[in-house]
Amino acid sequence: MDLPKLAIAALGGTMSMRTRIAGEGVIPTVSGETLLASVPHLTTLARFTVETLGLLPSASLNFECLLSVLSWAKYQVEQGAVGVIITQGTDTLEETATFFDYLWDCSEPLIITGAMRSAAQPGADGPANLLDACRVALAENSRQRGVQVVMNGQIHQACSIRKTDSLALQAFSSPIVGPAGTLVEDTVRYLRQRTRQMRLPLPQQTTQKIALLEASFCADTLLLENILELGYDGLVIAGFGAGHVSESWADVLEKIAEKIPVIIATRAGSGSTAQSTYGFIGSEMDLIRKGALMAGFLCPRKARILLWLLVGCGRQTELARYLKEDIRFQN
């Protein structure tokens, strides 16, 4: 029987980490080929193209690297792969998944996975996650679902997943909406229908800078006052509650919003920003009047990804429409 073809790109992260010197901690050393060999059952499911595109902790990935990986992944589909798996570190996984999801226009699934325990630890979860990711990539009902994350037996949409625990095996969740699917006895089971995904063109430039600042109790305005002078092309604020800041921040944000796009998200970790509930200075209604845009359910980190891409393809003036048309939480 002619087995289907899958492609795996290894970028590093905990899944690839081992200890070289006792007592010095784990570092990325394990190649994609070695990862594949650690799960011999995989070769009974598919034929594989495996490439180690990097051995980095995910905090050191960058936009240019991700664009290169995206190009590689699309090429693999052109060469006959029915799905692509990316293994990487979990620290920035929710951001990279969102980045890929905005740009992935193939019907074939792009699956991202990682590990919370290094390859050197007893009970390492990397091999099981890789096996599950391949099963999801091979499933016919995974097509037309964009980019998904497979971790700990669950399938999450890239647009909704968050890392909500620093070290636990169950580190990822999708607040409000929950996982998109699960694996039951090695079978991929989806819990809801496919939803329309929002796609963007590839950015034509990559030098744009988008700042992300978090509102905090009694915070000064020094950083805010220098955003424009520092050359930033956009600003995302992780605001209090439903998208609020202090009066002093509101005054500065009004001046900034006259020059560059400003998005207000919530730092709460779950829920949406408001639009028309609060009217005090620094509230969402006040900030909207001052020219800022509310992120809705989009978390601050993902709002930054969206704005970086829009600026990169010259569509920052369409930001309000893209935020409004973000339908990930609609039925």
Q: What is the CATH number of the domain that holds 46?
A: 3.40.50.1170
The whole-number average pLDDT for the span 264-268 is: 98
Answer yes or no: do 317 and 183 share one domain: no
Please tell me whether residues 21 and 158 are part of one structural domain: yes
Assess whether 56 and 183 both reside in one domain.
Answer: yes
pTM score, whole prediction: 0.96
Residue 175's pLDDT band, with cuts at 50, 70 and 90, is very high
Residue 229 scores a pLDDT above 70: yes
**37 and 88 part of one domain:** yes
In the numeric block, the tokens 């980490």 are attached to 17
> Does any domain span residue 201?
no
Q: Among 131, 158, 190, which residue terminates a domain?
A: 190
Q: What is the pLDDT, as a whole number, of residue 72?
A: 98
Supply 279's token pair: 């009217």
**Same domain for 169 and 76:** yes
Nearest Cα residue to 6 out of 64, 65, 51: 51
Could you tell me if residue 198 is inside a domain?
no
Decide which of 137, 162, 190 is a domain's last residue: 190
Q: Which structural domain range is residue 239 located in?
A: 210-324
Of 158, 190, 222, the last residue of a domain is 190
Type of residue numbered 162 = R
Residue 171 resides in a domain: yes
Are 221 and 179 members of one domain? Answer: no
Whole-number Å distance between alpha carbons of 305 and 101: 11
pLDDT > 90 fraction of the chain, expressed in percent and rounded: 93
Rounded to the nearest integer, the mean pLDDT of the chain is: 95
Tell me how many domains the chain contains: 2
Q: Which residue, 243, 136, 278, is CA-closest to 147?
A: 136
Q: Is residue 297 part of a domain?
A: yes
Do β-strands 172-173 and 162-163 pair in parallel, antiparallel, or remain unpaired? Answer: antiparallel
Separation of alpha carbons 247 and 35, rounded Å: 52
State residue 324's pLDDT score. 85
For residues 302 and 319, what is the distance between their CA atoms, to the nearest angstrom? 13
Q: What are the tens digits of pLDDT across the range 285-324?
A: 999 999 999 999 999 999 999 999 999 999 999 999 999 8
With a cut of 80, say whether residue 331 has pLDDT above it. no
How confident is the model over 59-89, as pLDDT tens digits? Answer: 999 999 999 999 999 999 999 999 999 999 9
Give residue 327's pLDDT: 47
In a domain, 329, yes or no: no
For the domain that residue 302 is a member of, what is the CATH number? 3.40.50.40
114, 123 Cβ separation under 8 angstroms:
no
Q: How confident is the model at residue 32 (pLDDT cuts 50, 70, 90)?
A: very high
| Interior angle at CA 122, CA 117 and CA 123, nearest 5 | 65
3-state secondary structure labels for all residues of the chain: CCCCEEEEEEEECHHHEEECCCCCCEEECCCHHHHHHCCHHHHHCCEEEEEEEEEECHHHCCHHHHHHHHHHHHHHHHCCCCEEEEECCCCCHHHHHHHHHHHCCCCCCEEEECCCCCCCCCCCCHHHHHHHHHHHHHCHHHCCCCEEEEECCEEEECCCCEECCCCCCCCEECCCCCCCEEEECCEEEECCCCCCCCCCCCCCCCCCCEEEEECCCCCCCHHHHCCCCCCCCEEEEEEECCCECCHHHHHHHHHHHCCCCEEEEECCCCCCCCCCCCCCCCCHHHHHHCCCEECCCCCHHHHHHHHHHHHHCCCHHHHHHHHHCCCCCCC
Q: pLDDT grade, residue 1 (50/70/90)?
A: low
Q: What are phi and psi of 141, to 5 degrees?
A: -80, 5
Please give the pLDDT value at position 326. 62
In a domain, 195, yes or no: no
Between 119 and 131, where is the model more confident? Answer: 131
- What the block records as the tokens of 55 is 């051995």
- pLDDT tens per residue, range 189-227: 999 998 877 899 999 999 999 999 999 999 999 999 999
